Amino acid sequence: MRKPFVAGNWKMNGSRASIKTLVSGILNGMGRVNNVEVVVCPPFVYISEVAQLLEGSTVALGSQDVAKEESGAHTGKISVSMLTDVGCKYAIIGHSERRPYYLDRDEVVAEKFIAAQKGGVIPILCVGELLEEREAGQTEAVVEEQLQGVVARTGIKALENAVIAYEPVWAIGTGKTASPAQAQEVHAFIRNWVRKEDANIADKVRILYGGSVKAANAKELFSQTDIDGGLIGGASLAADEFINICAAAG
Ligand code: 13P
């Protein structure tokens, strides 16, 4: 049985004041959320502060990225040990807003994934196709290549301690959600791809859907067989909406 998982990716949004309000709203609403692992991924500069606000709660912390290097002369980067030092349990890796714009190619994504696991942080590995790739019938090939980019370097067992997020790029921040059937099709493809290598891991690995998830569409998406929760962008910035999404996963 896979425990449902919902993570809020706050991206580059918020201020000390707005984040305080958001976290207190989430904590107040957690009583409505049953049996769901809830994670928030603030911008780096606010992680410590959010860690303090979350103390004693069941809400976990994640980062939006991590350096592949352990330490040293890497201006502007944040290491895995810094993340664990401030209480981060998860790190989003390979988000589509990073892959093309910040040179997070498959090889870099794999290195970050490996560094995270080595340092005790659980990767949330993002995969997903562009609209033109979907229209050209390449969705499965693209997703497979992104998964293979990591698994070829780590071995399939690494997925035992990771979360996968399928985020079709055309559905991110656009208001165009993949239909539950469209999402389920790709989630099933991913799980079957894992199953070919290791049936036990395929049954255990959580696969999240991301892309314009809102309270209004969450229940139907999360009720699909292979959708184990969501990676939420815009809708994770409003406490009530986010809590309703988390509750829908339970
Ligand atoms: P939206 O929910 O804003 O579409 O963003 C999804 C996403 O990119 C989460 O990582």
pLDDT tens for residues 28-37? 999 999 999 9
Q: Is the CB of 244 under 6 A from ligand 1?
A: no
Q: C-alpha distances in angstroms, 106 versus 71, 91, 99, 144?
A: 22, 16, 8, 11
Question: Which residue is closest in CA terms to ligand 1's atom 2?
Answer: 233
Active site residue 167: yes
State whether the Cα torsion 158-159-161-163 is positive or negative: positive
Q: Which of 37, 111, 167, 241 is catalytic?
A: 167
Active site residue 187: no
E strand or H helix that includes residue 41: strand 37-41
DSSP one-letter code for 173: S
Global pTM exceeds 0.85: yes
N residues, the chain: 250
Q: Is the CB of 210 under 6 A from ligand 1?
A: yes
CA–CA dist 48, 101 (Å, integer): 27
Structural domains of the chain, ranges and CATH numbers in brackets: 5-249 (3.20.20.70)
pLDDT tens for residues 194-212? 999 999 999 999 999 999 9
Q: Which of 95, 97, 133, 241 is catalytic?
A: 95
Question: Which residue is closest in CA terms to ligand 1's atom 5?
Answer: 233
CA–CA dist 123, 134 (Å, integer): 25
Contact between 97 and 11 under an 8 Å Cβ cutoff? The reply is: yes
pLDDT tens for residues 122-153? 999 999 999 999 999 999 999 999 999 999 99
